[in-house]
Copies of this chain bind each other. A is one copy, B any other.
């Protein structure tokens, strides 16, 4: 096996369909037909072409095919972090693969400018569609792309400034379930620490928690702590909630980062005494002591639905915009059943 000829010191030139056609002694179009399994090609031609393909190690250039046909067979996913535990993304990849679609995933990395870069880049690549876990505040800049027919689906949060399909969890019910679970185990002073209300899900969850408190005739003061997830802020919130005349005996954490930060702040002894229900599944939740009771999002369902919504929009760009709310489930493991 010898290195392919190079032209003027650069990369070696790869054989193209023209080369295969010449080698096989047939027309270019016939090679294309064979490559695409067109049944109207005679067996002897198929044999000749396949022999030439093998002899030259020809591989079709996907870029040229995409340019010509107009479709890429690829969808984009702009999520906060690839390479972190992300069951939605895993489900997206699985569903996309099952649909014969390639997935191009990129991390927005909690950076609004980067999110924009990624989305614009995906539009320039003319992907067949984009799933985005939106982070930025305003996505109106995507309106021209929507007008031009780019299918976009939002995941976990809606997008502001544009109207697109969306799939997300039932945040309000999840908080209600967590609260109710602790209430049933005898807790009356239940606190909440979660993400900033500037973030959509943080807002929804904090609002739902306040509503749950009021619905049970409890006051709100000193119990609801949305904000940035930093060790300092969480420590301060814990301090407010757990000390004082009427200390909370139970805690709901609004997302995974908050849950882990709280556990680290509390330390093992305090964590073993405080009733805790976390929003979001936590890796290794079963290995902690006590094992962690959480409100788990149906992440696989969310990812799969995102792809299905996207495919539906690709198939029919004119269909009405749709929002799918996916229910959440309580995973009882121990930490949420500590009595008051």
Which residues of A does B touch, CB under 8 Å?
1-4, 6, 11-12, 14, 57, 59-64, 66-67, 70, 72, 81-90, 93, 102-107, 120-121, 123-126, 143-145, 147-149, 260, 263-264, 268, 282-284, 286-289, 317
Contact = CB atoms under 8 A, between A and B. Distances in A.
A87 B62 CA distance: 30
A67 B70 contact: no
Given A4-B148, A83-B89, A104-B104, 18 more contacts: A4-B147, A12-B149, A14-B149, A57-B144, A57-B148, A59-B124, A59-B145, A62-B124, A63-B63, A63-B126, A67-B67, A82-B83, A83-B84, A84-B90, A85-B283, A93-B107, A102-B106, A263-B287
A149 B4 contact: yes
A282 B283 CA distance: 10
Nearest to A303: B83
25 contacts: A1-B143, A3-B147, A4-B147, A12-B147, A12-B149, A12-B317, A57-B147, A59-B148, A61-B67, A62-B121, A63-B126, A67-B67, A81-B90, A83-B86, A83-B89, A83-B90, A83-B105, A84-B90, A93-B106, A105-B105, A264-B286, A284-B287, A284-B288, A288-B288, A289-B289
A115 to B, nearest CB: 13
- Tallying the copies of this chain within the complex gives 2
Contacts of A3: 147
B287 A264 contact: yes
Contacts of A123: 59
Given A59-B145, A61-B124, A82 B93 contact: yes
A72 B317 CA distance: 29
A296 to B, nearest CB: 16
A9 to B, nearest CB: 10
B63 A72 contact: yes
A234 to B, nearest CB: 15
B11 A70 contact: yes
A121 B101 CA distance: 12
